[in-house]
Amino acid sequence: MSEHHPPLRSYGRLKSRPIKPRQAALVEQRLPELRIPAGAVEPAALMPNARETWLEIGFGGGEHMAAQAGRHPDVLVLGAEPFTNGVASAVRHIDEQGLSNVRLHDGDVRELIARLPAASLARVFILFPDPWPKARHHKRRLVQPETVAELARVLKPGGRLRFASDWADYVDWALARIGEDSSFAWQADRADDWRVPPADHVTTRYEEKRLGDCAPVFLDFVRA
């Protein structure tokens, strides 16, 4: 019998600066009710009247996730982020904006995806994930064939996947691996389709830092 090994972590540190006491208290109060329950995830049980269910993978500080949830109150927005400070920031955004259509997974998104039913999501966002720029670390990148296959499983036909990065090598990597899966069709017809932020995009703090080696690139795919 082969020994089972968990997947390599696709993210780095889990915490940076200490969380301020007031924010820590808010997290302690709100996160238990915002956290996606353990076990099989049934979106209809989390928000019975939701028109659709969306997932943001690695929501960072939660700005994009909260803004999308605010714009689409009839959509259930799931967010996954292992970084403690990011989760605390997201909880604050959710609380301040009075959002009732966001649920959080404070851990590895692959564990959450495995618990989602097939064809349960209408949109997935992967915005500026950890690029793991060194070649020896590429195996830690989130976008791998097995992850792409799982996203194809949980996305509905016609569902949309958006990947964005400001690292040229990761853009090429993602385009190759997602493009290799026949379940996805890239929607670009001209250069502006990947160079210009989509009309519904919300700029994040990380994006504004411009830490990569190229201007932000946006790849939109549709689930066949």
State how far the Cα of 211 lies from the Cα of 41, in Å rounded to an integer.
35
44's tokens: 């209809």
Q: What is the pLDDT of residues 192-206, one digit of tens each?
A: 999 999 999 999 888
pLDDT score for 170: 96
Q: Is the pLDDT reported for residue 66 higher than 80? A: yes
Cβ partners under 8 Å of residue 148, min gap 6: 177, 178, 180, 181, 184
* Bridge partners for 104 per DSSP: 35, 79
Among the listed residues 95, 130, 169, 200, the single catalytic one is: 130
Predicted confidence (pLDDT) at residue 11 exceeds the cutoff of 90: no
Cβ(74)–Cβ(49) below 8 Å: yes
Give me the residue spans of the domains in the chain: 43-223
State the residue for tokens 């039913």.
117
CB atoms within 10 A of CB 67: 18
Q: Residue 130 catalytic?
A: yes
Query: H helices within the chain, ranges in order?
Result: 21-34, 43-46, 63-71, 84-96, 109-114, 145-154, 168-179, 192-195, 205-209
- pLDDT per residue as tens digits for the range 114-157: 999 999 999 999 999 999 788 887 998 999 999 999 999 999 99
Residue 171 is predicted with a pLDDT of: 97
Whether residue 5 has pLDDT greater than 60 = no
The pTM for the full model equals 0.91
What SS3 class is residue 83? Answer: coil
User: Does position 4 have pLDDT exceeding 50, yes or no?
Assistant: no
Report which DSSP code applies to 2: P
Q: Which CATH architecture has domain 43-223?
A: 3-Layer(aba) Sandwich (3.40)
Question: Which has more confidence, 6 or 137?
Answer: 137
